[in-house]
Structure 1
Amino acid sequence: MRLEIGAEAISRMERGQVELTVSKLLQLADIFDCPANELLLAISTRPQDQWQLIAARLKDLSADDRQFALESLERLTAHLAMK
Structure 2
Amino acid sequence: MDELQKAGLVKAVGQAIALRRAAAGLSQERVAEALGITREAVSRMETGVAVPSVVRLAELAEIFSCGIEELLTDVSSRRIDQARTMVDLFDGLADDKRQLLVSIIRQIAQGFGER
Q: What TM-score bracket applies, with the shorter chain setting the length?
A: 0.7 to 0.9
Query: Aligned pair in 2 of structure 1 residues 17, 72: CA closer, same or farther (>3 Å)?
Result: same
Say which is worse superposed, 47-56 or 13-22, in terms of deviation.
13-22
TM-score, normalized by length of structure 1?
0.78
The number of aligned residues is 83
Tell me how far apart the structure 2 counterparts of residues 12 and 79 of structure 1 sit (CA, whole Å): 39
Encode CA deviations 1:26-67: one digit per residue, 9 max, x unaligned.
111221233222222222221101101101221322221111
Alpha-carbon offset, residue 81 of structure 1 = 4.6
Query: Aligned pair in 2 of structure 1 residues 16, 82: CA closer, same or farther (>3 Å)?
Result: farther
Tell me how far apart the structure 1 counterparts of residues 108 and 79 of structure 2 sit (CA, whole Å): 16
- Of the three residues 54, 69, 72, the one matched with 1:22 is 54
Query: Aligned pair in 2 of structure 1 residues 59, 33: CA closer, same or farther (>3 Å)?
Result: closer
Q: Which stretches of structure 1, 4 residues or longer, exceed 3 Å deviation after superposition?
A: 78-83
Which runs of no fewer than 5 residues in structure 2 stay unpaired?
1-32
Which runs of no fewer than 5 residues in structure 1 stay unpaired?
none
Query: Aligned pair in 2 of structure 1 residues 11, 79: CA closer, same or farther (>3 Å)?
Result: farther
Say which is worse superposed, 30-39 or 43-52, in terms of deviation.
30-39
| 2:38 alignment counterpart | 6
Tell me how far apart the structure 2 counterparts of residues 71 and 16 of structure 1 sit (CA, whole Å): 36
Tell me how far apart the structure 2 counterparts of residues 17 and 82 of structure 1 sit (CA, whole Å): 39
| 1:66 alignment counterpart | 98
Tell me how far apart the structure 1 counterparts of residues 43 and 108 of structure 2 sit (CA, whole Å): 33
Aligned-residue identity in percent: 33
More helix by share: 2
Alpha-carbon offset, residue 21 of structure 1 = 1.0
